[in-house]
Chain A
Amino acid sequence: GENVEQHPSTLSVQEGDSAVIKCTYSDSASNYFPWYKQELGKRPQLIIDIRSNVGEKKDQRIAVTLNKTAKHFSLHITETQPEDSAVYFCAAKGGNTPLVFGKGTRLSVIA
């Protein structure tokens, strides 16, 4: 089955700097890669996703890149703000298989 590895597990950045979180996946049949943000005590919320027919997708300060050959995808947050502090999860799935999540990255943005 699918296995998703996520790095780093914790990340601290200064406000205004960029943050990058990387994930690798094992199943070449996976074709959907969402990123979820989970604030303390709250539900995971989708912030961006990418499909396997696209290499990059951007939404304001957030971007995701996908390298199908290398089976890795990354989340980029630019101009970080304190409200970006949260745990971020990557996930992967293909067809009707379930979403498989990484273990999460705790991002702290220091004002």
Chain B
Amino acid sequence: DTGVSQDPRHKITKRGQNVTFRCDPISEHNRLYWYRQTLGQGPEFLTYFQNEAQLEKSRLLSDRFSAERPKGSFSTLEIQRTEQGDSAMYLCASSLPRDSYNEQFFGPGTRLTVL
């Protein structure tokens, strides 16, 4: 499968625990995005990378959230001290930086449930 992959697909955790998700983009894509999607809503932008540089972060990304892309390939999203409000689908997408019109290809998502 040459598409965007995410791991794990599902994560159930207790409030206060830390969780880490991984995203592997399409191999030649140097832009990588993280989104959060809750039921009945569209994806909400969290942050994005061009190669290993994190270029923008949303106000939604509190200080409990951190994302990395150390070698410009895969990325991790860590949530510390999880809260019930963090329960959502976390989507990763990747793209080529083709002017402004960069089609984003989404991964299958990681569904987080915080008990």
Contacts and interface: CB of A to CB of B under 8 A. Distances in A.
Interface string A80-102: 00000000010101111011111
B85 to A, nearest CB: 18
A100 to B, nearest CB: 7
Contacts of A101: 42-44
B91 interface: yes
B106 interface: yes
B109 interface: yes
Contacts of A34: 103-104
B101 A99 contact: no
A45 B58 contact: no
Given A45-B106, A103-B40, A94 B100 contact: yes
Main secondary structure of the interface of B (DSSP, over half): loop
B55 A96 contact: yes
Interface in A48-74: 49, 51
Nearest to A52: B100
Contacts of A91: 42
Contacts, number: 54
A51 B100 CA distance: 9
A20 interface: no
Interface residues of A, number: 26
Contacts of B56: 96, 98
A18 interface: no
Interface in B4-29: 4
Interface of A: 4, 6, 31-32, 34, 36, 42-46, 49, 51, 89, 91, 93-96, 98-104
Interface of B: 4, 33, 40-45, 48, 55-56, 58, 91, 100-101, 103-109
13 contacts: A31-B100, A36-B106, A43-B106, A43-B107, A43-B109, A49-B101, A51-B101, A91-B42, A96-B56, A98-B48, A99-B104, A103-B42, A104-B40
